[in-house]
Amino acid sequence: MFDAETSAIRTDWTREEIAGLYDLPFTELLFQAQTAHREHFDPAEVQISQLLSIKTGGCAEDCGYCNQSAHFDTGLKASKLMPVEEVKQAAEAAKAGGAQRFCMGAAWRELKDRDVDAICEMVSSVRDMGLETCMTLGMLTPEQADKLSDAGLDYYNHNIDTSPEYYSEIITTRTFEDRLDTLAHVRDSGMKVCSGGILGMGESREDRVGMIHALATMPAHPGSVPINALIPIEGTPLEKAPKVDNLEFIRTIAVARMTMPTSMVRIAAGRETMSDETQALCFAAGANSIFYGETLLTAGNPAVEKDRALFEKLGLKAMGAGHA
Output phi, psi for 227, to 5 deg: -110, 115
Q: Rounded to whole angstroms, how far apart are CA atoms 123 and 73? A: 32
282 is catalytic: no
Catalytic one among 109, 174, 179, 194? 194
Sign of CA dihedral 272, 266, 56, 69: negative
257 is catalytic: no
Catalytic one among 174, 251, 266, 271? 266
Q: Name the 3-class secondary structure at 70.
A: coil
Beta strand 224-229 with 264-267 is parallel
194 is catalytic: yes
Q: Which residues pair with 106 in a beta bridge?
A: 55
Catalytic one among 59, 208, 251, 282? 59
Q: For residue 299, how many other CB atoms are within 10 A of its CB? A: 16
Catalytic one among 101, 103, 120, 208? 103
Q: Rounded to whole angstroms, how far apart are CA atoms 78 and 75? A: 9
59 is catalytic: yes
Output phi, psi for 139, to 5 deg: -75, 150
Q: Rounded to whole angstroms, how far apart are CA atoms 263 and 109? A: 26
120 is catalytic: no
Beta strand 299-300 with 295-296 is antiparallel
Catalytic one among 134, 174, 257, 271? 134
Q: Name the 3-class secondary structure at 217.
A: coil
Catalytic one among 10, 15, 38, 66? 66
Per DSSP, the residues of 287-308 read --EEEESSEETTEE---HHHHH
Beta strand 155-157 with 192-194 is parallel
103 is catalytic: yes
Q: What is the 3-state secondary structure (H, E, C) of 20-87?
A: HHHCCCHHHHHHHHHHHHHHHCCCCEEEEEEEEEEECCCECCCCCCCCCECCCCCCCCCCCCCCHHHH
Q: Name the 3-class secondary structure at 99.
A: coil
List active site positions: 59, 63, 66, 103, 134, 194, 266
